[in-house]
Amino acid sequence: MSEVRKDSKGRKLMTGESQDKDGRYRYKYCDSFGNRKSVYSWRLTESDAYPKGKRKDISLREKEKNIQKELNDDIIPDGGNMTVLELVEKYINQKRGVKHNTQANYNFVINVIKKEPFGAKRIDKVKLSDAREWLIKLQDDGRGYSSIHSIRGVVRPAFQMAMDDDLIRKNPFEFQLATVVVNDSVTREAITRKQEREYLRFIKEDKHFCKYYDGIYILFKTGLRVSEFCGLTKEDIEFDKERIKVDHQLQRKRDMEYVIETPKTEKGVRYVPMNEDVSECFKRIIVNRKKPKIEPMIDGRAGFLFLDKNDMPMVALHWEKYFQHIREKYNSIYKVQMPVITPHVCRHTFCSNMAKSGMNPKTLQYIMGHSDIGVTLNTYTHLQFDDAKEEMKKVCNE
């Protein structure tokens, strides 16, 4: 018969339990992979007093219960000793066929986590309060709301993967971001119809910027994303059917590589109607288009409508700079300042104008290429009192 082992207080020690010479208790066990592990505590049971000068911790038998519960639930104890950084890297490495903008965002998140002590934290030790505190710290360190939103957008599904793999019990990032950090991002508001008319008038009459008038007019009157706009070729403008075929977008990577990608959302492939004014703009653009010695071809597509000084297709950055310079010149001349206008503001203005005109939300969703009707409906919440007043008059007069 085996000898009954006891601790220094004469209490019987269970299988796997032992007490070291310094008085600390140890529990040995095998994890789900058959690896031998040990946990320690200065107390055997919960009722034991904390030894003077020792760090407070749960008792050994409380730890044993947690370990057994995890083993019974097939939860891997200690989260497999995986760190936050290792988890996020594993999650990202399983992604295939991502667009280059998405990959750039992944790289950004990895670089942030690498610099943070939080990245070295073991995933099973991350609690809800830890996750909240980390995001708050990022904002205190100067990170903007949109950046924090992007970081959490990668970390949260990574922790969900850890749950699915039985490494942890709960996802510590399952909370509303707005309840933790302040949304200090600048909302890109639509401009008024009067501002739009004045802005276009100024461009049309300016000797230098008038060459961009047709392109900017199209952005205001079609709601195209700027990357979709830059990707347009002569074949995409179907004059006979009065529509624009949108089935791709043009992007340029940081290493200056040009790529053709599918539209931003699954609903992005669509036909956008064009009125007579837009059609005339496209006709002028095609007539005045540069005739390069060598026609640039990107992923099998050629005939891009807008070429830069190097005879390569213009990209979003070109147009964003044009918009910036136009506004700077306008505001240097007129006392009534023009607000910040970007290609995306053109898109948002178009959407708002269509909503104000009473266009059916589902029709507007199709034209905008929104994957979620909620994105379209949010435009209707931007309408002001004057819009509501005008709508009320229409209803009452019917």
Catalytic residues: 225, 264, 344, 347, 370, 380
Beta bridge partners of 17: 27
Angle between helix 145-164 and helix 84-93 axes, rounded to 10 deg: 80
Rounded to an integer, what distance in angstroms lies between the CA atom of residue 39 and that of residue 246? 60
Query: What is the rounded CA–CA span in Å between residue 98 and residue 293?
Result: 34
On whether the CB atoms of residues 286 and 381 are closer than 8 A, the answer is no
**Would you give the end-to-end CA distance of the chain in angstroms?**
99
